[in-house]
Structure 1
Amino acid sequence: MMMVWYVLAAIVLLGAGTMSWYYIYDRWIQRDHAIRRNFPIYGRFRYIMENMGEYFRQYWFTADWEERPFNRLTRAWVYRSAKGVSNYVAFGSEVDAQQPGHIYFLHSAFPINDDEAEIYTGRWIGKDIVGKPYKPKSFFNISGMSYGALSSAAVTALSEGAAMAGVWMDTGEGGLSPYHLKGGCDICFQIGTAKYGVRDKDGNLDEERLRKIAALDQVKMFCIKLSQGAKPGRGGILPGSKVTPEIAGIRGIEAGKASISPSRHRDITDIPTLVAMINRVRKIVDKPVGIKMAVGSFEFIDEFFDYLSQHRLEAPDFIQLDGAEGGTGAAPAPLADYVGQSIVQALPLVAQKLRTYDLRSRIRLVASGKLLTPDKVAWALCMGADYVVSARGFMFSLGCIQAMKCNTGHCPTGVTSNDPRFMRGLDPALKAVRVANYAKAVQHDVEAIAHACGCKSVRELKGQHVRVNGGDLML
């Protein structure tokens, strides 16, 4: 019994000593925090509550439709779909149908019965242009997410899930890792401004490394990244703490050092050099080559398409438009918040420009930027997209809880952390099934929208089938 009292006394003395030290430190030594200097010990609770607030706010204080960047209604739909749980609703919709930006589809008086529907067939990419054109099986696919930005377990689960669902997976600009290949899915290899994975020691394109990657049957397409919506005008950012020796080897960079891509390709300075790079890569790989870009000035689009209309065979085989609402692991706030055009403005106008310059049949259009639920995907198809890709939707299917810790290496679900402590919670085999379930749920529900509109296939969706409150879509 006396031992217990000794232990309790020791705990009390230790606690008192610790609190005394904190009081002295806060009051007389540290000068960084005025609150703690004026209110020793007590002031620390402000910072504790401030830190914990971001975790509890979404559960206790924020309405289901208010949270950003994705509200709880959206995330819950993805979570249920990934788990294979019914997404049927009772007692009516929770969505405010009167709010500006609300999407609604114009159903037909004579909708399509299931037995009348046609099986979806994709559109060829690069047909009659390259020796190995690509015809995707799905209109909804996985957007670019690099190994390094995502954990090895997350990339493995995405690869295996993509193979199960018959969707393609974009490598992101971080190069091709063994984890991308592990599941056997179709792959789009992205060439970022730093040319990770296909660079020489000086950061220039290494044609031999590119040729080796192109020889892999799994790699179906190549995408030259000009910019992305979350940070237009700025290259990719991977903190040094996340650049492990393995990641450094894949990218061709120095381990432990922050991986910051140039703002643009040094060998692309104008439209002719851009087109020259597209054709240089296409000549080496003999597979479809496209570009990824966020739209800034529409004057550039006119100049670009006018040039391509005169050099039709040299045009990119596809263009991925990324909206300013797109996501990323790390970006400067001013660029993420205030630079670039939304996919809402960019997609309809670029699709129209392709028709104006008679390039619509030559160039496939891929849309991205917060398009992760059936309504947004169907809207993009109506606006002229041939394919839609999502990154954060598939992250949610892996178990992402929107903790906003992607750039810290402390993602609590292990999706964006290679720390074994966090990554052990992500079982690739289980999550792969959820990735496939989510992809199939989007495919199924977009098809349901198309059938309600009287279309036998999602390929028949057009602008006439959709309306938006107020004329503008706010994703």
Structure 2
Amino acid sequence: MENVFDVLASIEWWRWILIVIVFIAIKDIFFNREHTIKHNFPVVGHLRYFLEGIGPELRQYIVASNRDELPFNRIERGWIYASAKNENNYEGFGTDQDIFSTHYIFINNAMIPFKLKEDHPNTLDPNFIACGKVMGLYNERKRPFRPASIINVSAMSFGSLSAKAIASLNEGCKEAGAYHNTGEGGLSKYHQRGADVIFHFGTGYFGVRDNDGNFSMEEMVKLVKENPQIRAIEIKLSQGAKPGKGGVLPASKITKEISEIRNVPLGKDVLSPPNHSAFSDIPELVDFVEDIAEATGLPVGIKSAVGKLDQWEELAKFMAKTKRGPDFITIDGGEGGTGAAPPSFADHVSLPWIYAFTDVYQIFLNHGITDRIVFIGSGKLGFPAQAAMAFALGVDCINVAREAMMSIGCIQAQACHNNTCPTGVATQNKWLQAGINIKDKSKRVNYYFTKFRKELLEITHACGYEHPSQFTMDDVEINLSDKNLAKTLATTFSYHKEKVPFDGIKAHLECPHLGGKYKQKEVETKEAETEETTPHNKDK
């Protein structure tokens, strides 16, 4: 035996390489029945699959230009990274955008910008922008909610994102005064780091389901009672990446922790059906919304991607007639989506955000009920200029998902669907998560939101306004058609958004429904005394 090892040890290194190559060639020619390329081109064929495997990285870092990549190009990612790190996020030598391209946005600035006075709240806090409306005020919910930030974290569940990613986002939202949407995976302990929370559930009713998988009002009431940081509830009808399609959580991914949070069994695949079992039509949906609001006291809203408009018309007509219905509506764009989705859905099913939102908003505008609803936009709106455009169209808040992921380190590896996210953000792999420093990443979320709001406010002031809710559809123009003619949003989409009753930032600060660090208890007491003698007028 020693002689054999001696002979092997005496073989020169290049001969070892030759032996390995011959072994691979024999394996490819005689035993490979899966890959034609490897069979026909032994050894060399492996190079093809290697290059294919690293192709995305080669294109991302070497081949693609600064503006080429999708869904987010290098300039967009760079702005988020620099903002999140509290670094210089400016660029030099002018824009490298093709400003004559179709759908390019122009924001019309005023000759004389809005001027802040010395005692103005934004002089002391240059990034404070609360939502211009209050969720649940019209329907007189017991606990109305005014979001303290107009930019917040969108629905991303624990399971889709890692535990450390969720914890980082929640702590960052707490610092930034933003709310954190749980996504449909239930309320985990990682969502309970101090931020306001919007509890979101879909067709699987995870976290608020009974043992048969049906919605449980008892569980919902218990959850809200035990977790006062839940400020609103969102019912997911569909999402931009895969509207009308349910999901599958494989048994192999269901840990004991996920099983307890979602109230699902261990060792068994969990199916999320494409539709809800709690309701089947618009009247039943409205009843469902009202029942939850009555039982919990919280504002209740819906989230949906948009395609056909007939049921949206039916919902608006029903709400106008009955004066009942959701307190807020989140419109998700078809270009959105974290996690996993079939390409056929992600690429083709549901409208892009700008078409989806304008179609829906116009329906509610025609029925005269936009003032009753807080409109939330979601779909690549996490940049100040895009947000200004969205506010001009009628949104009151925006939710960000992938932009928030990038603020905590996501590099757009597009590996969310196979549990191999290299940054640990979208994986349950403990080793890959180990690199996330929650304390550091939460600061980056805060910095991103702070920089975003500061820059959006600067754009707002440049246009002569105090608050983004004051933008009108004549303040933004968009390039149309092959002739690159720029027209205002009002001309393009044939409506004018309804004016938001905005009384100034000071009035926002005095609002008793303002959450987070801006809440003023003495104003709450004063309003409570007033409400005892002055009844609300729903028809006002």
TM-score normalised according to structure 1 size: 0.94
Whole-Å Cα distance in 1 between the matches of residues 253 and 10 of structure 2? 42
Q: How many corresponding residue pairs? A: 469
- Structure 1 counterpart of 2:76, which letter? T
Whole-Å Cα distance in 1 between the matches of residues 407 and 250 of structure 2? 25
Residue 462 (structure 1) shift: 1.7
Q: Which residue of 1 aligns with 2:23?
A: 21
For the Cα contact (< 8 Å) 2:477–2:488, is it kept in 1?
no
For the Cα contact (< 8 Å) 1:315–1:363, is it kept in 2?
no
Whole-Å Cα distance in 2 between the matches of residues 186 and 382 of structure 1? 26
Q: Which residue of 1 aligns with 2:263?
A: 252
Whole-Å Cα distance in 2 between the matches of residues 364 and 95 of structure 1? 33
1:43 is paired with a residue of what secondary structure? helix
**Does 2:210 align with 1:208?**
no
Q: Which residue of 1 aligns with 2:376?
A: 366
Of 462, 475, 481 in structure 2, the residue corresponding to residue 452 of structure 1 is 462
Map 1:47-126 to 2 at 5 A. 47-115=49-117, 119=122, 120-122=129-131, 123-126=133-136
For the Cα contact (< 8 Å) 1:237–1:331, is it kept in 2?
no
2:370 is paired with a residue of what secondary structure? coil
State the percentage of identical aligned residues. 37
2:329 is paired with a residue of what secondary structure? strand
Of 224, 231, 235 in structure 2, the residue corresponding to residue 220 of structure 1 is 231
2:372 is paired with a residue of what secondary structure? coil
For the Cα contact (< 8 Å) 2:424–2:434, is it kept in 1?
yes
Larger radius of gyration: 2
Residue 468 (structure 1) shift: 0.8
For the Cα contact (< 8 Å) 2:475–2:488, is it kept in 1?
no
**Structure 1 residues 8, 330: CA separation in 2 closer, same or farther (over 3 Å shift)?**
farther
Residue 86 (structure 1) shift: 1.4
**Does 2:395 align with 1:385?**
yes
**Structure 1 residues 410, 345: CA separation in 2 closer, same or farther (over 3 Å shift)?**
same
Residue 98 (structure 1) shift: 1.1
Moved more, 141-150 or 268-277: 268-277
Whole-Å Cα distance in 2 between the matches of residues 248 and 428 of structure 1? 24
Q: Which residue of 2 aligns with 1:188?
A: 198
Residue 205 (structure 1) shift: 1.1
Residue 251 (structure 1) shift: 0.8
Moved more, 166-175 or 52-61: 52-61
Residue 65 (structure 1) shift: 0.6
For the Cα contact (< 8 Å) 1:65–1:72, is it kept in 2?
yes
Whole-Å Cα distance in 2 between the matches of residues 387 and 421 of structure 1? 36
For the Cα contact (< 8 Å) 1:141–1:169, is it kept in 2?
yes
Moved more, 272-281 or 222-231: 272-281
- Structure 2 counterpart of 1:404, which letter? Q
**Structure 1 residues 469, 239: CA separation in 2 closer, same or farther (over 3 Å shift)?**
farther
Residue 104 (structure 1) shift: 1.1
Whole-Å Cα distance in 2 between the matches of residues 110 and 290 of structure 1? 39
Whole-Å Cα distance in 2 between the matches of residues 121 and 38 of structure 1? 64
Task: Provide, for residues 389-436 of structure 1, a one-character-per-residue CA deviation record: whole Å limited to 9, x for no partner.
Answer: 010010000100010110111100000112121101111110000001
For the Cα contact (< 8 Å) 2:338–2:401, is it kept in 1?
no
Whole-Å Cα distance in 1 between the matches of residues 365 and 77 of structure 2? 35
For the Cα contact (< 8 Å) 1:324–1:339, is it kept in 2?
yes
Q: Which residue of 2 aligns with 1:293?
A: 304
Residue 472 (structure 1) shift: 10
Residue 19 (structure 1) shift: 2.8
Residue 239 (structure 1) shift: 4.5
Q: Which residue of 2 aligns with 1:335?
A: 345
For the Cα contact (< 8 Å) 2:200–2:234, is it kept in 1?
yes
Whole-Å Cα distance in 2 between the matches of residues 5 and 290 of structure 1? 76
2:418 is paired with a residue of what secondary structure? coil
For the Cα contact (< 8 Å) 2:83–2:448, is it kept in 1?
yes
1:60 is paired with a residue of what secondary structure? helix
Task: Provide, for residues 298-351 of structure 1, a one-character-per-residue CA deviation record: whole Å limited to 9, x for no partner.
Answer: 222111111111111x21000000010111201111111111111111212322
Whole-Å Cα distance in 2 between the matches of residues 92 and 267 of structure 1? 54
Task: Provide, for residues 201-246 of structure 1, a one-character-per-residue CA deviation record: whole Å limited to 9, x for no partner.
Answer: 1111122221121112100000010000110111244454433221
- Structure 1 counterpart of 2:159, which letter? G
Whole-Å Cα distance in 1 between the matches of residues 340 and 478 of structure 2? 31
Residue 257 (structure 1) shift: 4.4
**Structure 1 residues 436, 208: CA separation in 2 closer, same or farther (over 3 Å shift)?**
same
**Structure 1 residues 105, 157: CA separation in 2 closer, same or farther (over 3 Å shift)?**
same
**Structure 1 residues 57, 259: CA separation in 2 closer, same or farther (over 3 Å shift)?**
farther
**Structure 1 residues 415, 257: CA separation in 2 closer, same or farther (over 3 Å shift)?**
farther
**Structure 1 residues 409, 218: CA separation in 2 closer, same or farther (over 3 Å shift)?**
same
Whole-Å Cα distance in 2 between the matches of residues 8 and 196 of structure 1? 63
For the Cα contact (< 8 Å) 1:101–1:472, is it kept in 2?
no
- Structure 1 counterpart of 2:375, which letter? L
Q: CA RMSD in A?
A: 2.0
Whole-Å Cα distance in 1 between the matches of residues 157 and 314 of structure 2? 31
For the Cα contact (< 8 Å) 1:118–1:457, is it kept in 2?
no
Residue 441 (structure 1) shift: 1.1
Unaligned runs of 5+ in 1: none
Unaligned runs of 5+ in 2: 123-128, 481-486, 490-540
TM-score normalised according to structure 2 size: 0.83
2:96 is paired with a residue of what secondary structure? coil
